[in-house]
Amino acid sequence: MKSFYQDLIRKNSTKIVLVILDGLGGLPRFPGGKTELEQAHTPNLDELAERSSLGLTVPLAPGVTVGSGPGHLAIFGYDPLENAIGRGALEALGVDFALRPDDIAARGNFCTLDKDGTILDRRAGRLASEKSARLVERLREIEIPGVEFFVELVKEHRFAFVMRKAGLGAKLSSSDPLITGVPPLAVRALDDDSKQAAELVNAFIARARQVLEDEQPANGIMLRGFALTPVIPSFKERFGVNAAAIAVNGMYRGVARLAGMQVLDVNGISLADEFTTLEAAWDAFDFFYLHFKKTDTCGEAGDFDGKVRAIEEFDLLLPRLLALNPDVVVIGGDHSSPAVMKSHSWHPVPLLLYAANCRSDGRREFGERACAAGSLGAIPAMQVMPLAMAHADRFEKFGA
């Protein structure tokens, strides 16, 4: 559905940078203590915060914990309820697979099974990517009449699985029980239209078990997050900007590609490499999305100090972004991942918006409590992009 914002778009040469520190929001280790963001030594973020408007974002609704897919869609300005994306589609898009509308995609894991088929390790010891690449080639040899299968390496034990046959339903359950000590689950059809798809997927998994029988530690596979590819309005259509995405991890490249952003290649895997990509592409685009995964990785691992160090790593590199003189800088997260919870959470996410024409809050600190007292308030994440557009002077006045 067309947004009324599209009628307000004004073209100009201003540049917007949206930085997503994945899982940014946190909690103190003890009552009255500091969160990871508050604990981190961030002189550059704090100095920028003093010149910025601060607030908190709610990814979907109060009390609702979101995954990274809907969390990103919301901060990109899309309604996650109207544009639901399955993890499988994001995984395939993230490795540059050209999904078709009828393709059913899933996220795949190599796993370790004992002789009775019980799961010993859901990730096969986080198999090295080089070994997984060879196993992916073996899975590509599986053939079942009347359907095409595609398997693409993502990283370590992970791969993208795509099944191509017109007219299949995609409402399928996962084969991953998310625990060890039990066998993988049979994939079930969750509606009548998906029965054939379930049969085909289970047949593929059974053949994979045969193909990998003599392999160690990866002698089985599990699939989850089955999804068709949704079709959503492009980012350029919604906001009139020529947008580039800079991300290392596949899923985040996938959601950006789904939104119609040009996903740039990063020569390396570090945050510094991402900043180098930003600098090299600066003149070619007027909107940049830059993603940093380590904050979320540490949060989900329960590594409070690691998340603090990740935030400090970003802070050290922030001057490279500011040296480019962007007109608008937005720094936030797709969701919270408190280390004390070892998971995503429903807590509102800190937000910083800098522009020459913003109403600065004058608080020399970027943290949960400072943002809770900020002038932006606690806002739906979907409102971030309209605010960024307005501060970039990319909206006309509404009405006479």
The dihedral through the CA atoms of 363, 364, 370, 374 has a sign that is positive
The dihedral through the CA atoms of 60, 168, 142, 175 has a sign that is positive
Asked if CATH classification 2.40.30.20 holds for the domain at 4-85+232-391, the reply, yes or no, is no
Whether 352 contacts 321, CB under 8 Å: no
Residues sharing a CB contact under 8 Å with residue 399, sequence separation 6 or more, in sequence order: none
> What are the tens digits of pLDDT across the range 192-249?
999 999 999 999 999 999 999 999 999 999 999 998 887 788 899 999 999 999 999 8
Average pLDDT over residues 348-364: 97
Whether 379 contacts 56, CB under 8 Å: yes
Residues sharing a CB contact under 8 Å with residue 305, sequence separation 6 or more, in sequence order: none
Residues sharing a CB contact under 8 Å with residue 24, sequence separation 6 or more, in sequence order: 37, 295, 311, 332, 333, 336, 337, 349, 350
Whether the predicted pLDDT of 1 surpasses 60:
no
Q: What is the DSSP letter of 30?
A: S
Residues sharing a CB contact under 8 Å with residue 164, sequence separation 6 or more, in sequence order: 100, 102, 103, 104, 147, 148, 149, 150
E-state strands within 356-399: 377-380
d(CA 238, CA 232): 10
In this prediction the pTM is 0.83
Lowest mean pLDDT among 44-48, 74-78, 155-159, 339-343: 155-159
Question: How is residue 259 written in tokens?
Answer: 């939104």
- Identify the band that residue 82 occupies on the pLDDT scale cut at 50, 70 and 90: confident
Mean pLDDT of the chain: 94
- Identify the band that residue 92 occupies on the pLDDT scale cut at 50, 70 and 90: confident
E-state strands within the chain: 16-21, 53-58, 104-113, 119-121, 148-155, 158-164, 220-228, 243-246, 262-263, 287-292, 328-332, 349-355, 377-380
Lowest mean pLDDT among 28-32, 124-128, 172-176: 124-128
Average pLDDT over residues 119-135: 93
Whether the predicted pLDDT of 2 surpasses 70:
no
pLDDT of residue 142: 96
Other C-beta atoms lying within 10 Å of the C-beta of residue 19: 22
Whether 76 contacts 235, CB under 8 Å: yes
d(CA 172, CA 150): 18
Q: What is the DSSP string of 195-264?
A: HHHHHHHHHHHHHHHHHTTT-SS--EEEEEEEEEPP----HHHHH---EEEE-SSHHHHHHHHHTTPEEP
- Identify the band that residue 367 occupies on the pLDDT scale cut at 50, 70 and 90: very high
In 3D space, the residue among 380, 369, 341, 370 whose CA is nearest the CA of residue 23 turns out to be 341
pLDDT of residue 299: 97
d(CA 20, CA 333): 5
| Better pLDDT: 250 or 256 | 256
Other C-beta atoms lying within 10 Å of the C-beta of residue 115: 6
- Identify the band that residue 371 occupies on the pLDDT scale cut at 50, 70 and 90: very high
Domain with CATH 3.40.720.10 in the chain: 4-85+232-391
Upper half-sphere CA count for residue 312 (Cβ side, 13 Å): 11
> What are the tens digits of pLDDT across the range 289-337?
999 999 999 999 999 999 999 999 999 999 999 999 999 999 999 999 9
